């Protein structure tokens, strides 16, 4: 009995030791896992440091362009006569600057564009932090204080200038995308504008009068449009046709006649006919046009696209004479009042009753409108 009791005590002791050992191993495993996880956290999360909105201007995050990922396809280079509009920086004895070991970059005095304070930054031997070693680097920096006051991102178009004395023009470089400035990204530009060797060779024209040079920049803040318009086309109408019956056609003596006003597609129209022709059709053909009514409400700058068919109807519908109208109408008083044909149908066909166009001295003409444009303006 005592032997059984001792065996039971020994077994319980052994199990207790195993449990303590396992717990210690588990604790070690958990600690190792959390340590490993912590090692992949950003430094600010591991240390509990918070982001400072007043970033050090010497910090790499403020002076790198690499996260913009400027590609060759979005970079535009060229020559132009017009000088920079935002700021110009002339430097004399630039070779001394190039040879200086204590001047990594030169930063201009602040200048104002769009209510923000900017500076032009030149790296004579390239911004090494931005993979620009061996190149001339050019940037624009925005003052943090003006950003904090605005409490928003600032988007800017940048164009950098370098004067070339050989061409008597400015070499320019810009990106087709806008640059986004904020408290985390206060400087944008190009790390590889020109190779330093190319720039400092006087024969290339960038250094002149010994070793003088000139840089510049245009800073443009694009604004979102406030006015817009929408052009649409309507090609479904409840009643797309209008037919005008002209009585006693042979007795018409005036140069031209207009139908009653009719409405299709929300616009007011008239058919105009010259029984004996006008312009190049005078005396040989009847002229016919589709007119926009002079009382239709159209803005002076608005244009209305119309696609329609003008017809002279025949007693045999298969013999109808049809002409296409495809035109942009101006507001009444700002362009031709209508469009059609000077020589729509020969007078000989109208006078010959066997042709079937004039029946019992009645002529029928018709318009079928197929499409009309509609322009909406915002704000209206």
How far, in Å, CA of 265 to CA of 329, rounded? 14
* 34 domain residue, yes or no: no
Beta bridge partners of 245: 364
Asked if 65 and 105 sit in the same domain, the reply is yes
The closest of 300, 303, 308, 305 to 262, measured between CA atoms, is 308
Asked if 248 and 206 sit in the same domain, the reply is no
* pLDDT number for residue 73: 63
* 262 domain residue, yes or no: yes
* pLDDT number for residue 67: 42
* pLDDT number for residue 71: 53
Asked if 71 and 202 sit in the same domain, the reply is yes
* 10 domain residue, yes or no: no
Q: Which residue blocks in the chain are alpha helix, DSSP H?
A: 2-38, 43-47, 94-99, 144-150, 196-200, 347-351
* pLDDT number for residue 149: 74
In 285-299, which positions are buried (b, 16+ CB within 10 angstroms) versus exposed (e)? bbbbbbbbbeebebe
Asked if 274 and 294 sit in the same domain, the reply is yes
Asked if 148 and 240 sit in the same domain, the reply is no
* pLDDT number for residue 147: 81
Q: Which of 198, 220, 242 is the last residue of a domain?
A: 220
* pLDDT number for residue 224: 85
Place of tokens 């025949």: 314
Contact 122, 105 (CB under 8 A): yes
Asked if 193 and 329 sit in the same domain, the reply is no
Could you tell me the residue range of the domain that residue 202 belongs to?
60-220
How far, in Å, CA of 290 to CA of 313, rounded? 16
What's the domain count of the chain? 2
pLDDT digits (tens, 9 = 90+) for 252-265: 999 999 999 999 99
Residue 25 CB burial class (10 angstroms; 0-12, 13-18, ≥19):
exposed
Asked if 212 and 238 sit in the same domain, the reply is no
Asked if 190 and 339 sit in the same domain, the reply is no
Q: Which of 220, 247, 270 is the last residue of a domain?
A: 220
Spell out the residues 6+ positions from residue 378 whose beta carbon is closer than 8 angstroms to its own.
227, 228, 229, 230
Asked if 180 and 307 sit in the same domain, the reply is no
Asked if 189 and 239 sit in the same domain, the reply is no
Q: Which residues in the chain come in under a pLDDT of 70?
A: 1-73, 150
* pLDDT number for residue 54: 31
* pLDDT number for residue 170: 98
* 332 domain residue, yes or no: yes
Asked if 202 and 235 sit in the same domain, the reply is no
Asked if 259 and 339 sit in the same domain, the reply is yes
Residue 14 φ/ψ, nearest 5 degrees? -60, -45
- What's 283's domain CATH number? 2.60.210.10
């Amino acid at each position: 009995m005592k032997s059984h009791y001792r065996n039971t005590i020994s077994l319980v002791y052994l199990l207790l030791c195993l449990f303590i050992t396992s717990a210690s191993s588990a604790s070690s495993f958990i600690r190792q896992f959390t340590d490993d996880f912590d090692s992949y956290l950003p430094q600010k999360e591991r240390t509990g440091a918070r982001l400072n909105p007043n970033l050090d201007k010497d910090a790499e995050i403020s002076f790198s362009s690499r996260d913009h990922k400027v590609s060759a396809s979005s970079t535009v280079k060229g020559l132009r006569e017009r000088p920079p509009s935002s700021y110009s920086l002339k430097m004399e004895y630039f070779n001394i600057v190039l040879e200086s070991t204590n001047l990594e970059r030169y930063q201009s005095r602040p200048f104002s564009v769009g209510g923000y304070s900017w500076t032009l930054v030149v790296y004579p031997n390239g911004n090494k932090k931005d993979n620009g070693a061996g190149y001339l680097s050019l940037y624009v920096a925005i003052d943090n204080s003006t950003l904090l006051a605005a409490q928003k991102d600032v988007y800017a178009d940048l164009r950098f200038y370098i004067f070339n004395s050989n061409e008597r023009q400015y070499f320019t470089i810009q990106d087709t995308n806008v640059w986004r400035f904020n408290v985390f990204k206060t400087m944008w530009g190009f790390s590889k504008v020109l190779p330093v060797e190319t720039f400092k060779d006087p024969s290339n024209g960038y250094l002149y009068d010994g070793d003088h040079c000139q840089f510049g920049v245009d800073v443009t803040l694009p604004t979102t449009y406030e006015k817009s318009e929408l052009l649409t086309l309507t090609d479904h109408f409840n009643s797309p046709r209008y037919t005008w019956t002209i009585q006693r056609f042979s007795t018409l003596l005036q140069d031209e006649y207009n139908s009653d006003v009719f409405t299709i597609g929300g616009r007011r129209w008239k058919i105009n006919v010259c029984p004996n022709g006008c312009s190049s059709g005078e005396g040989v053909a009847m002229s016919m046009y589709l007119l926009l009514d002079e009382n239709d409400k159209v803005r002076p700058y608005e244009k209305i696209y119309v696609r329609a068919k003008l017809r002279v109807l025949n007693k045999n519908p298969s013999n109808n004479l049809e002409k296409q109208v495809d035109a942009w109408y101006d507001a009444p008083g700002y362009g031709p009042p209508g469009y059609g044909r000077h020589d729509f149908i020969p007078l000989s066909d109208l006078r010959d009753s066997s042709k079937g166009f004039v029946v019992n001295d009645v002529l029928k003409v018709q318009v079928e409108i197929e499409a009309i444009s509609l322009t909406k303006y915002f704000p209206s």
